[in-house]
Structure 1
Amino acid sequence: MNDDLRIGPDGTAVCHYFEQLRLEAYPDPGSPRAKAMRAGKPPSECRKLSGAPWTIGWGDTGPDVVEGLTITEQEADQRFARRMALEFEPAVRAAVKVPVNQRQFDALVSIFYNAGVDALSKSTLVRVLNTGDFAGAAAQFPRWNMSGGVRMKGLDRRREAERLVFLGGDARSAIAAALAKFP
């Protein structure tokens, strides 16, 4: 089901807006290192803490993403496209048992990419969606706003944008509305 769908411009725009292009690996925002950095701890103390999972490009993680890694914008685009095609699009198609439209697929790929395939595949969002309750599924997006046990304003914004795209909005309008709702 949904075999002909690939991430489209709205899904890519939401992912790119919220992930932002980073050409040097950085610690995950929910990691102990990032939390210590935000708290103003000295760099020498922060370096002792884990930054895993390290992230690069358009929010790409994996065993090859390590502290100090740098890539080009072209490599970031290639990594993003490859992971969408090989990992996240198939994961959404496997988890979702009802037909969805392009924007719904885009929103689902975005949240799977950001929050993780394992967690989302077994989530209430997907269970509700698979009953055909699209409004109920949309209402589940805001629940995915935590990283490392901490509510993140950036995730509030992203989930609102994804929810609005899922409900049929275009990415540009959805992002603007999300930023207005969570200034």
Structure 2
Amino acid sequence: MKKAGVAAIGSASAMSLALGVVSHFEGKENAAYRDPVGVVTICYGHTATARIGQSLSDETCSELLAGDLGDAFDAVDDHVDVEMPATRRASLASFVFNVGEGAFQRSTLLRRLNAGRWRDACDELLRWVYADGQWLRGLDRRRRAERQLCLMEPAPTQLARSDDE
């Protein structure tokens, strides 16, 4: 029971961290627009059902963000074979949210992570700063933030003292 509670807290903190990163770097536009490489986008970077001329409420945008981010976490959980702190999981979910599950699944980043080379994997984030062959300042800033989150070590936990100490 205690282990499940810790996992739930870890999941909640990962979701909260990822929401902060994604909402900061995606921004929110209630009306559909074309992103810097021409992809029709709405709300917080939602593309799956976005179409030009569409306008959505703040509530709908929040629901789309939660669903899209949930899908990104599912992709991370499906493809990562090693244990990770909540910060790394959040970083990777933000990354998958942005590049998609397929790109993540085929990435050197994932191969290095699953090989236990998590520092090298986190460094791979800095290579993903191009969209349609074009370097984007916003992607560079986002990847640096994701890398910083990815590299964070969990705080050491204190061992519970026994009653006889």
Give the superposition deviation at 1:89: 1.2
Equivalent residue number for residue 90 of structure 1: 74
Equivalent residue number for residue 69 of structure 1: 54
Number of aligned residue pairs: give it: 144
Counterpart of 1:12 (choices 16, 19, 28) is 19
Give the superposition deviation at 1:28: 2.2
Q: Any idea what SS the aligned residue of 1:109 has?
A: helix
Measure the CA separation in 1 of the matches of 2:147 and 2:55: 33
Task: Supply the AA of the counterpart residue of 1:74.
Answer: E
Q: Does 1:154 align with 2:138?
A: yes
Q: What TM-score comes out, normalization by structure 1 length?
A: 0.75
Measure the CA separation in 1 of the matches of 2:96 and 2:72: 7
Q: Does 1:137 align with 2:121?
A: yes
Q: What TM-score comes out, normalization by structure 2 length?
A: 0.83
Q: Does 1:113 align with 2:97?
A: yes
Question: Does structure 1 conserve the Cα–Cα contact (< 8 Å) formed by 2:69 and 2:94?
Answer: no
Find runs of 4+ consecutive structure 1 residues off by over 6 angstroms: none
Q: Does 1:26 align with 2:33?
A: yes
Equivalent residue number for residue 3 of structure 2: none
Deviations 1:140-174 (Å, cap 9, x if unpaired)? Answer: 000000011101010000000000011128xxxxx
Give the superposition deviation at 1:10: 1.5
Task: Supply the AA of the counterpart residue of 1:164.
Answer: Q
Q: Any idea what SS the aligned residue of 2:30 has?
A: strand
Unpaired stretches in structure 2, ≥5 consecutive residues: 1-6, 154-165
RMSD: 1.5
Deviations 1:77-124 (Å, cap 9, x if unpaired)? Answer: 011111222x21111111111001101000000000101110111100
Equivalent residue number for residue 83 of structure 2: 99
Measure the CA separation in 1 of the matches of 2:138 and 2:67: 25
Question: Does structure 1 conserve the Cα–Cα contact (< 8 Å) formed by 2:91 and 2:150?
Answer: yes
Deviations 1:5-58 (Å, cap 9, x if unpaired)? Answer: 364222111100000011000102112xxxxxxxxxxxxxxxxxxxxx311111
Measure the CA separation in 1 of the matches of 2:72 and 2:143: 17
Equivalent residue number for residue 58 of structure 1: 44
Unpaired stretches in structure 1, ≥5 consecutive residues: 32-52, 170-183
Question: Percent of aligned positions with the same letter in both sequences?
Answer: 30
Counterpart of 2:63 (choices 68, 78, 90) is 78
